[in-house]
Chains A and B, each alone.
Chain A
Amino acid sequence: MVAAIARRLAGMLAVMFIVATMVFFLTRLAPGDPASLMLGDQATAADIAELRKTYGLDRPVAVQYVLWLKEIASGNLGQSIFLQRPVLQAIGERAEPTFFLALFSILIASLIGIPCGIASAVWRGRVADQTVSGSAMLAASIPSFWLGLLFIQFFAVRLGWFPVAGYGDPGADLAQRLRHLVLPAMVLGIVNSALITRFTRASMLDVLSEDFVRTARAKGLPESRIVLRHALGNALVPIITVVGLTAALLVGGAIVTETVFGLPGIGNLVVSAVLRRDYPVIQGALIVIAGIYVLINFTIDVIYTLVDPRVET
């Protein structure tokens, strides 16, 4: 078991190493000199030379790469050009709305997706199944920013139930701030419920065809107990995986929704960084977001290794 966990840990580090490498070399593809880009338009030639030296940009790319990896490994993601502060600090300041948005969205998505997926599997091929599968496909076809705009028009502008955009005035209390997350969380919950529905359905269908389910039926157990205890209990592993990974992807994948609703989250930070060409922020955010995904993935794997004796690889 220790060996299995060690192997996963090695795999996780390998993936992070590749992400860091990819981010480094792809950023070098950007047109223009990184130092002048980093300093922006107002930089003097002396400033640029100074920065080139600090970052070792006057040295060969291979050396720069090693230096960059060293910095990353020691937890230093560099300095934002535009925001004039460490990248990690800038990300930390934006973490709250993104964290709660991901949390609420995945809750809504699971509350829609898991029951729908179960119903769909139990009544396979019937009207309920076709309705659920069709709706899931529809949900997966909706651009989140478009649904966001429609929700803002209807629930915020017309009905006035929720704030139109933003994250509350500075100093607003938590309840006030969270009210701003209701509409975006509904949007992301609906859009992301599709994947969870499909996974739950597939996973339940697999389990429902197994022998122990037939045995349970033969014993005369009530159908609800068979479905909810016996089948769902065994189908839960892949469902939890997809819920966990979807939540992880929401941390960085909510950028479009955050933009529509004007939420000052990590996604919003990335979009402004892209528009301002603030490369250290883009790089840092990519590494943090990939790190969160990899870490959640690793945690899920470890939990399975610990609780399920069948999981070996």
Chain B
Amino acid sequence: MDPAAAKLFLDRLFRRKLVLFGAVVLLVIVIAAIAAPLIAPYSPTGMRVTQRLRPPSATNWFGTDEFGRDVLSRIIYGGRASLGIGMAVVLASMLAGTTLGLLAGYFRALDTVIMRIVDAMMSLPDILLAIFLVAVLGASAGNVVLALAIVYTPRVTRVVRGSTLVVRELPFVEAARLLGVSTPRILTVHILLNVASPILVQATFIFAYAVLAEAGLSFLGAGVPPDVPTWGTMIASGQQYADRAFWVVFFPGLAIVLAALSLQLVGDGLRDMLDPKLRKAL
């Protein structure tokens, strides 16, 4: 992409102020998570028994938790696990869902089988299917990723299949077929590239759902082990102190809300920008 096109892309994406706000917040959260050791004022695991449950102050902006650990530092480090898991879920479900969606949309014989399985999986609430999968797989960060990837694959499959059904009937695909282009090449080059934008939009939303679902699983005690600081485990372990020290619960939750909101705002902006129907109107 040349600089002019990149500028046009960003101009369009950030036309709405809310989208720009979302992108900035997301960037801040991601940078904070990556650069955690440089940014966090304290160690996320450093316990100071004398400083238990201290309210927000100049030295501990978000207060301290039940072990005297700095809440802000734990949120910054917690972003690594929460966002890392979300990212991994997005990549895995995109890969699986795109493959299945292309196959279902392009080969009629596979369509019924794949879509029935998708229907079956979507008849169960996300969090319920996730907790079941974690229960059988065992609670660990890797299995939380696997479980959530399985949970969100059907959504991607559905979107990709829908777009594939439309694109496969377009003249250029017909032309490619007549020219003798191989089926794998038609699928990966001609169709995939043309269904890329709904996939990208879906990715941002699934990222947001995955962050929320991971927190929910951790809260239920069926997610990553409680000693790993994630936003969900922080709320789970802090809830019994919520009446005396609301900050141990409030700030990690706020981090989840900001992350999920910024992801959805960016996703919404991308959708508006990439949707050909709306693009004309802009």
CB atoms of A141 and B220 under 8 A apart: no
Binary contact track B69-109/A, C-beta < 8 Å → 1, others 0: 00000000000000000000000000000000000000000
A290–B121 Cα distance when bound, in Å, is: 9
Does A30 touch B at the CB level, under 8 Å?
Answer: yes
CB atoms of A153 and B242 under 8 A apart: yes
With a cutoff of 8 Å between Cβ atoms, the chain A residues found around residue B242 in the complex are 149, 152-153
Does B202 touch A at the CB level, under 8 Å?
Answer: no
Within the complex, which residue of B134, B232, B257 is in contact with A141, where a contact is CB–CB below 8 Å? B257
Does A94 touch B at the CB level, under 8 Å?
Answer: no
How many A-B residue pairs have C-beta atoms within 8 angstroms? Tell me. 139
With a cutoff of 8 Å between Cβ atoms, the chain B residues found around residue A271 in the complex are 131, 220-222
Main secondary structure of the interface of B (DSSP, over half): helix
Does B243 touch A at the CB level, under 8 Å?
Answer: yes
A260–B242 Cα distance when bound, in Å, is: 12
From residue A202, how far is it (CB to closest CB) to chain B in Å?
12
CB atoms of A145 and B235 under 8 A apart: yes
CB atoms of A253 and B125 under 8 A apart: yes
User: In the complex where A14-B116, A256-B216 touch, is A146 in contact with B136 (Cβ < 8 A)?
Assistant: no
Binary contact track B207-235/A, C-beta < 8 Å → 1, others 0: 01000100110011110000000001001
User: In the complex where A15-B116, A22-B120, A150-B250 touch, is A255 in contact with B18 (Cβ < 8 A)?
Assistant: no
User: In the complex where A143-B216, A146-B249 touch, is A293 in contact with B135 (Cβ < 8 A)?
Assistant: no
Does B45 touch A at the CB level, under 8 Å?
Answer: no
Does A249 touch B at the CB level, under 8 Å?
Answer: yes
The A-contacting residues of B in range 23-66, CB under 8 angstroms, are none
Does A280 touch B at the CB level, under 8 Å?
Answer: no
Name 17 interchain pairs, CB-CB below 8 A, sorted by A: A26-B136, A140-B208, A140-B264, A143-B215, A143-B216, A144-B216, A146-B235, A150-B249, A150-B253, A253-B128, A256-B219, A260-B239, A267-B128, A274-B135, A286-B124, A286-B129, A289-B125
Residues of A within 8 A of B (CB): 11, 14-16, 18-19, 22-23, 26-27, 29-31, 130, 133-134, 137-138, 140-146, 149-150, 152-153, 157, 249-253, 255-256, 259-260, 267, 270-271, 274-275, 277, 282, 285-286, 289-290, 293-294, 297
Q: A141-B264, A274-B135, A290-B120 are in contact. List 7 more A-B contacts (CB 8 A).
A: A27-B136, A138-B257, A143-B232, A149-B242, A153-B246, A253-B127, A270-B131
